[in-house]
Each structure stands twice: as structure tokens, then as C-alpha cells.
């Protein structure tokens, strides 16, 4: 499982040497939302689910403003701030 996650998201973890699927779920989702492409997003939804993805949009301090606005519109989340 860990090797599969590393291979799937190799493009978005350029500055990290090791990453675990469940333990680093929030980190992986943040990276996908900030830097991933459509394929990365689909893979993350398959692994973590839409509810978890939307939860990271709401709770993350690591999303850049442009990504946050986009994903709030995508998930139909009212974001103040």
C-alpha cells in the first residue's frame, strides 16, 4: 500500500523522502489539491473519498488562496476568509 501511494503521487512529493498512505492522508490531499492534476485528484478521491477531500479544504492552512477558492466552489463550500 505504501509503495503504491508513493508511486501514484510521485509528482507531488518532490521534497519528501517517505510518505505513508493513511498516516499522511491530510498531507497527500493538500498536495493533490494544491499541485495535482485531474488524474491525481481522481486517485485521491478513490483512496480517501470526497468527504475527506472536502474536510481538508475546510480545515487546511496549507492550501494557497487560489486553490482554496477553486475547491470551495467545486465542493460547494461557503468559505469566509
Residue 44's nearest CA partner among 62, 26, 60 is 26
For the record, the C-alpha cell of 80 comes out as 469566509
Residues 6+ apart with CB under 8 A from 65: none
What pLDDT band is residue 50 in, cutting at 50, 70 and 90?
A: very high
pLDDT of residue 79: 65
Rg of the chain taking only CA atoms, in angstroms:
12
Is the confidence at residue 54, as pLDDT, over 90?
Answer: yes
Residue 53's nearest CA partner among 16, 5, 19, 76 is 76
Amino acid at each position: 500500500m505504501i509503495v503504491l501511494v508513493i508511486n501514484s503521487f510521485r509528482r507531488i512529493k518532490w521534497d519528501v523522502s517517505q510518505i505513508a498512505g493513511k498516516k499522511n492522508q491530510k498531507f497527500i490531499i493538500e498536495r493533490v489539491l494544491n499541485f495535482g492534476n485531474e488524474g491525481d485528484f481522481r486517485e485521491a478521491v478513490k483512496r480517501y473519498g470526497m468527504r475527506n477531500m472536502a474536510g481538508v479544504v475546510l480545515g487546511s492552512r496549507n492550501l494557497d488562496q487560489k486553490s482554496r477558492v477553486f475547491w470551495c466552489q467545486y465542493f460547494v463550500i461557503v468559505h469566509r476568509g
